[in-house]
Amino acid sequence: MHMNFYSLRDRVLNFIEACRVGPDSWRFASTPGGPETLYASCFSCMVYHYLGESDRLTPLQREDWVKYLSSWQDSSTGYFIGPELIEGELQSEKHTYEHIARHLTAHVLPALRLLGGYPMYSVKFAHQYVDLSFLQHWLDKREWPEAWLEGNNLLFVGQFLVHLRDVERIHGAQQALNLYFEWLNGKQDPKTGLWGSNGYCSIPKALYGGYHQLLLYYHEDRSVNYPERLIDSALSLQNEDGGFNPEGRGGACEDVDAIDILANMYKQVDYRRAEIRYALRKALRHILMRQMPDGGFVYRLNEPFIHMGIKRTASEANRSNLFPTWFRVHALALISEILTDEPIAQFDWRFNNSVSMGWHRKWSKYQHRLTFFDRVDELFNSARNKLLNRNIYISLLKRLLPTPLKYHIKRFILRRKDL
């Protein structure tokens, strides 16, 4: 599938503009014509940054956007309570008002940082986690049958502790983080590299949760245990359609959770790299097929979407929404870190600059650029996975390679003993 980055970028930006509520405003709806949500403003801010569009904002515009986001902070607790958090309109029993308030706060904080701002008030609700006894009790209450939900909860607490340490300079935040990682290390399943897969939940649910707490490991430069098993787990979830939902059709969360793990592990260990690249190429095409004519993305094709049961974020089937648009764009940025020969990698994508969903530590794509032989290895591994023999594989390469290289590549393949 041919993809022009600048066309994709312009279409995404047009969709964000269609979500704006009122001219010259930093109020956005989750879907065009919908009601204002604070989530939508955060996602718009982050996508602007990923695509380099935030460079066009004037200092006054940045200041105004910071003021808008900050206006939703509750001074007594530190939570950011957007207009979408109406208790009578929350339709998910699993996602409580408190959970959503923390989830929303965890998105406002990085958006503020991207704009050069900080919260007006302390995130007082998070100070309790600095108390080691309280934190230990809270950690021990995690319910691994709900590993996906708990992964979010674990990210929130870790993210808030980093904020308390780095921004509010709260004494004891680092000691709390040390306990946090020690506890997580003790709960990790050595067979999968995940949390909860040791008899509590399925590997997919464990991976969709584990993505979240792993972000803290990357940000804090903590060694990740069992990286090879993490790679095995993520690759095992990919469906033939390219998404990372074994049942098919992918999902904006499911796909980016696996892609983020694969991109980070690719950078850390030399294990199944050709297979990771091949999987990411399939995922790239899968994601691009989820972009709608208006430039935004859907969570999943042919299915209505509502974010965590929040009524004001709902969109109809095959209608773009800012939440999946944000996560899909972030996934493309992650893929571009690895697939340096794809058109999307020619752009200098950006990531959040503070730990959060949307954060990633970049590396030099020039120093890690892919070679022709890397592509050959990908084809070799894909052929092996499909049980093709040498002759079929050589025939495939003949259709792809320039004539002067065919002889040398054929000799390279015939020397391989594992196909």
Mean pLDDT by 10 residues, the chain (419 residues): 83 98 93 98 98 97 98 98 94 96 98 98 98 98 98 98 98 98 98 98 98 98 98 98 96 98 98 97 98 98 98 98 98 98 95 98 97 88 62 56 56 55
Amino acid 380: pLDDT: 80
Query: What is the predicted pLDDT for the residue at 23?
Result: 85
Q: Provide the pLDDT for residue 406.
A: 56
- How much is the pLDDT for 41? 98
What is d(CA 77, CA 74) in angstroms, rounded to the nearest whole number? 6
How much is the pLDDT for 176? 98
The predicted pLDDT at position 275 comes to 97
Q: Which of 71, 68, 54, 72 is nearest to 22 (CA)?
A: 68
Is residue 20 helix, strand or coil?
strand
CA distance 301 to 307: 15
Gap between the Cα atoms of 54 and 185, Å rounded: 38
pLDDT at residue 381 in the model:
78
Using DSSP's 3-state secondary structure scheme, residue 310 falls into: strand
**Is residue 28 a contact partner of residue 37, using CB atoms and an 8 Å limit?**
yes
* pLDDT in the model for residue 286: 98
* pLDDT of res. 24: 82
pLDDT given at position 402: 58
CA proximity to 416, closest of 388, 405, 404, 398: 388
Distances (CA, A) of 122 to 118, 127, 291: 10, 9, 38
pLDDT for 2 equals 57
